[in-house]
Structure 1
Amino acid sequence: MRQKIEMKVFLEVYPPHEWSDQDRVLTEMAKEIMHKAHAPYSDFLVGAALLLDNGKMFAANNQENVSFPVGVCAERAVLSYAIGNFPESRPVKIIIVAKKREAGRYATVTPCGLCRQTINEYEVKFDAPIQIMMLSPNGDLLLAQSIEALLPFRFNDLNA
């Protein structure tokens, strides 16, 4: 007999008056770097800001390429830089902002599949969740407490 596997996930909504000081700084960093994205083909700008457990904060943006699969997402760019330079420092929180170049409002985006799997890799490496926050058009932050909320059936280490 077939069985049904059901997983429930949820996001929390954080209005600006509930943001921490770190949330505010990271959101501003992500907004600022977003405007510097190299997105001449889609005009879709993405910025991501990351907090490590050592208190360091980093930001990066998406980098498109005319050979579309060659581009790099903001989330993977910031994670690669931070972990490449501070391999023992655990990622604690990542904030993502996005919008079309000429749009007046931000667009709600979640990490793509490649970015979700990359976030999962670091959650496994450090054996700790990474908070993922996404700016919504109305100015709230949507919070996933870990990648499990966005990638419930994760691909983990084959040797585990």
Structure 2
Amino acid sequence: MKKHTLSFDMSVYDSINELPETDKKIMLKAVEARNNAYAPYSSFFVGAAVLLENGKIVLGNNQENAAYPSGLCAERVAIYQAAAIYPNVKICSVAISATSKNYKVLEPAAPCGNCRQSMIEYEQKQKEPMTLLLMGEEGTVVKCNSISDILPLAFSNSFL
């Protein structure tokens, strides 16, 4: 038997104001998108902003549905929209921000498993890492250098 340790480095900022200017810009866009989310059932509002290699920023937010499996998370809305509008343009960064009507979200909200798998697919496709920025409604911002950091044993098309 062999043991292996998986680890990664991430940057933790005390607030959005500490971010480099480009990161701050896309996080503010994620907050803007979050404010337009459709979340009448969970009251948990998530916004995502995707920065593309061509400088365009594409927004997404969670879209709930009374038939729960029919909804879609903000991350996938933004990435799928970016791929539909700008096919073959690389994704540089994804910023995610979350808030709730029921409580104050002070911790960075991490993507769900479905979103992690969807994002890693695009990172694998473009063969370049995508920066990931995570924030609650305010406070701490976490910056990861790659989606593979948060999904190190990812499923890929190599298994098919």
Same fold (TM over 0.5): yes
Say if 2:139 is the partner of 1:139.
yes
The question of whether the paired residues in 2 share the 8 Å contact of 1:97 and 1:107 is answered with no
Question: 1-side partners of 2:136 and 2:100: how far apart?
Answer: 13
Question: 1-side partners of 2:118 and 2:59: how far apart?
Answer: 16
The question of whether the paired residues in 2 share the 8 Å contact of 1:98 and 1:106 is answered with no
Mind listing any 5+ residue stretches in structure 2 that lack a counterpart?
none
Letter in 2 for 1:134: L
C-alpha distance after superposition, 1:83-133 (max 9, x if no partner): 111112100001100011254444421111111111111111110000000
- In the alignment, what sits opposite 1:25? 25
- In the alignment, what sits opposite 1:14? 13
Question: 2-side partners of 1:138 and 1:4: how far apart?
Answer: 39
- In the alignment, what sits opposite 2:89? 89
C-alpha distance after superposition, 1:13-34 (max 9, x if no partner): 1244431222222122111121
Question: 1-side partners of 2:136 and 2:104: how far apart?
Answer: 13
Instruction: Please give the TM-score of this superposition, normalised by the length of structure 1.
Output: 0.90
Letter in 1 for 2:8: V
Superposition pairs of residues 58-77 of structure 1, within 5 angstroms? 58-77=58-77
Q: Which runs of 4+ in 1 moved over 4 A?
A: 104-107
Question: 2-side partners of 1:76 and 1:68: how far apart?
Answer: 16
The question of whether the paired residues in 1 share the 8 Å contact of 2:97 and 2:137 is answered with no
The question of whether the paired residues in 1 share the 8 Å contact of 2:12 and 2:140 is answered with yes
- Identity value in percent: 34
Aligned length: 159
Instruction: Please give the TM-score of this superposition, normalised by the length of structure 2.
Output: 0.90
Q: 1:159 to 1:102 in 2, by over 3 A?
A: closer
Letter in 2 for 1:14: Y
Mind listing any 5+ residue stretches in structure 1 that lack a counterpart?
none
C-alpha distance after superposition, 1:41-88 (max 9, x if no partner): 100000001100000011110001111111100000000001111112
